[in-house]
Chains A and B, each alone.
Chain A
Amino acid sequence: MTEKLNPADAEPTPTPVVAQPDAVEPAAEAPEAAEAAAVVPADAEPMPAPAMAPADAVLVPLEQLAPAIAAASVSRRAFLGFGLAVAGGVVGAGVLAQYFPVFASAGDEVAPIVPNYNPATKAWTFVVDSASCIGCGLCVVACKEENHVPEPAEYARTWIERHVTTTDGQLYIDSPEAGINGFPKDSTAPGAAGKAVKSSYFQPRLCMQCAEPPCVGVCPVSATYQTEDGIVLVDARRCIGCGYCVTSCPYGARYLTPAGEDTPSDTPGVADKCTWCYHRINKGQKPACVEICPVKSRQFGDANDPADPIAAIVKATNPAPFHPEWGTKPRVLYLGPALEEA
């Protein structure tokens, strides 16, 4: 470009270039040495000629150096030097990571939340009974309140579905406003209106806290991670908002937070999902939805704790995961018609 800008400037300019005193004879070697030394300073010592321009440097006109530069720039050492520089950058970045809190490794941030909490001893268990759920939507309300889930209905960490089978054998699923206001008498699913109902049930839905969660594996920056006690969380400070985890979740449990709303992490544009109220359970409380459910459709506890009834409930009712064939080892256990249908 510069050349084009000044066509008159074509003849070599007398600009001096710093070179070594003996640059005229071994000219081809000199720049190479300088390059190698610049990349690996330790190597500079045994070299007879100092790589950096010494005080008694002689100025050599550019045109005399041109063949040397041309030779040096195609050398394998230069190429190697470039590779070393790249490698150095990567190592440097790794070192930086140790001192850069935002990018500290995933495990670090969970443990200190509650000093006396030992995740290794916990076996959190969530049982949902689709037979007893009455579709009141109180859990959806409680979740939105507790976790600052954005107001609009398309952002839900937990929601209620109504599955209606009509007498002609058709299945209709609806979830008006994610079930937050309860349900009207007739299904709102397109085509269901006016049909006679054979059977119906409500199914509460939430993140399955899969034991083999695809959402964790796909995250390109490790912003989604699994705690020692098996809860899948999102670090809102690291998430780049790519939405990969949203597309990877077979249970549709995730969304990206919108701006201008009261969001769980106060960070717009990042992934969010149900955490089984991790901030509550590690303090000995139950998730907000479990606490509020008037018919105890949602049961939660630590199966390792002998005082906790959850182990006995699991033993007595034998609940099962929902769509285990999707291969993610989902950990919410269901009871009732939801299982039969799936």
Chain B
Amino acid sequence: MQAATRPMTIAGRRIPTLREMGAWLVSEVHRTPRGLKIWYALLGVFLAVGGVAALISVPPGWEVMGTSPKFEWGLLIVAYVFFAIITSGLCLSASLGTVFGLERFLPFEKRHAVLALISLITAFLVIALELHYPIRMVFGAMLTPAPTSPMWWMGVFYGTYLVVLIIEVWTLFTNHPVIHKYACTSCAIVAVFAPTTLGAVFGVLAAKPFWYGIFTPIQMVCTALTAGLAILGIVFWAVDRFRLANHGTAKPIAMPSIRLLMAIALVIVSALLIRQMVDALASPQPGMREAAIALISGPLAIQFWGVRVVIGLVVPALLLAMPMTRTPWGLLGTSVTMLVGVFMDRLNFVEAGQIYPRTTQAGTVSYPYAAYTPSPVELGILLFALAFFALAYTLAERYLKMGEGDSHIFWPWPWIKPHHDHEHDGEDDHDHKADGAQVDPLKRLASATPAQEVAL
């Protein structure tokens, strides 16, 4: 783009020249606090390393993954599922928030929506690298629909989700309340359907008894909720720690309610996990009991007991229960451990389903267990995805107006007004103004002080 004699405009706004952009970039670099620079550098390294892995995985059929005919789905499927359920979980937890009082999560609506969009894009990135022919998938799914395939439905729902989320985020930041309402309603609906079909992708496979059944989609939705809450917990901590927009409401209002939701979610997923293990151990189906034993005392025992149960369930439960960890840092610990638990839960689920093949797979007998070790390329892509997610969120937090938005987000029934609907007053909100465009993002981050560790 060259600087023309008359400035170029889009919708009445002048497009800056290259020189201006460069100048802005330089001044921006100068204004970025040291800590943030280190964070960017770290993410940059991760992105570079992961990017190389991603490039290596692009040519179809290169055997750079740890997967094989006897163990066809591995870490990348897990990573896709992880980011996809984070998306749904964010919307679900926000919808659930309405049950406990709409205003609780109000200051964080924009973050909900932006994070959901970022994690969905991350999920799509991962699945594009996992599939050998992602472009074919886009055309194939549209031109030869396969309504018998849960994977097709999953594509339909997550594709719709992407469109609706883009509309939702766009309307949030451009003040289109009516379209926004409908987008939010659609989001709330898709947020349930999408992880359900994702669960059904596994749940319909009679060939894999450990995956088969109605509880798989149910578990997927509940795990999604847990993941969404965990991400929100991390965000609330960051908002409080770095004095980001609306930080005033984070500690007194949002944190207690998210703790409550987290406790409920932990109870639900624990109950579902116990049901799953008991059911598998008692099952006469070949492959069921063996999968459960592989988790309890077999090759998956460490990741089951050590990571899933202790780090993913016991530690967050303790952190939630103990009064002295009812602080932002305690919430961060709860969230991170819960999130690790969710990831491990999905990994265990995918691995246990395939670890005891009922039959020889394409000529390979796996005895007693089929082996799968993630390859460096798969780990690299996971690193890439995590770094992408973190970087995109950091940039959004720094350069978008994350202040309070309209109150009806995620309100599932757009024609019914919630009793405290302030439809158009977002503009007049003082908090909103405070972090408007005029305020230097530096001020928000530079004024960051260590959070007071006060029990709420």
The residue in chain A whose Cβ has the minimal distance to the Cβ of B62 is A259
Instruction: Pick the residue among A93, A174, A220, A238 that contacts B149 (CB under 8 A).
Output: A220
Counting contact residues on chain B (CB < 8 A from A), the size range is 35 or more
Stretch at the interface among B33-41, B202-210, B380-388: B202-210
A172 to chain B, nearest CB (A): 8
B207 touches A269 (CB 8 A): no
Give me the interface of B with A, judged by CB distance under 8 Å: 9-16, 20-21, 24, 59-63, 67-70, 72-73, 130-134, 136-137, 139-146, 148-152, 154-155, 163, 175-179, 182, 201, 204-208, 354, 357-365, 367-368, 399, 437-438
Bitwise, A128-168 to B at CB < 8 A (1) or not (0) is 00000000000010000000000001111101010000000
Complex CA distance for A1 and B362, rounded to whole angstroms: 54
Q: Which residues of A contact B437 (CB under 8 A)?
A: 3-4, 7
- Whether A154 touches B69, Cβ cut-off 8 Å, given contacts A6-B20, A221-B144, is yes
B139 touches A103 (CB 8 A): yes
A218 to chain B, nearest CB (A): 5
Interface residues of A in 260-287 (CB under 8 A from B): 260, 263, 267-270
A269 touches B139 (CB 8 A): no
A185 to chain B, nearest CB (A): 18
Complex CA distance for A256 and B61, rounded to whole angstroms: 8
Q: Does A301 contact B (CB under 8 A)?
A: no
Complex CA distance for A217 and B204, rounded to whole angstroms: 10
- Whether A251 touches B10, Cβ cut-off 8 Å, given contacts A105-B144, A218-B204, is no
B132 touches A220 (CB 8 A): no
In this complex, how many residues of chain A approach chain B with their Cβ under 8 Å: the count is 84
B143 touches A100 (CB 8 A): yes
Q: Does A240 contact B (CB under 8 A)?
A: yes
B149 touches A217 (CB 8 A): yes
- Whether A259 touches B24, Cβ cut-off 8 Å, given contacts A12-B12, A103-B140, A238-B140, is no
A250 touches B206 (CB 8 A): yes
6 A-B pairs closest in CB distance = A268-B61, A241-B132, A269-B60, A156-B363, A178-B363, A221-B140
A220 touches B12 (CB 8 A): no
Q: Does A97 contact B (CB under 8 A)?
A: yes
Q: A154-B363, A246-B69 are in contact. List 7 more A-B contacts (CB 8 A).
A: A9-B14, A73-B176, A159-B362, A220-B137, A247-B207, A252-B357, A269-B61
A214 touches B20 (CB 8 A): no
Instruction: Pick the residue among B24, B132, B137 that contacts A270 (CB under 8 A).
Output: B132
Q: Which residues of B contact A125 (CB under 8 A)?
A: none
- Whether A96 touches B73, Cβ cut-off 8 Å, given contacts A153-B363, A255-B362, is no
B350 to chain A, nearest CB (A): 10
Q: Which residues of A contact B10 (CB under 8 A)?
A: 2
Q: Does A51 contact B (CB under 8 A)?
A: no
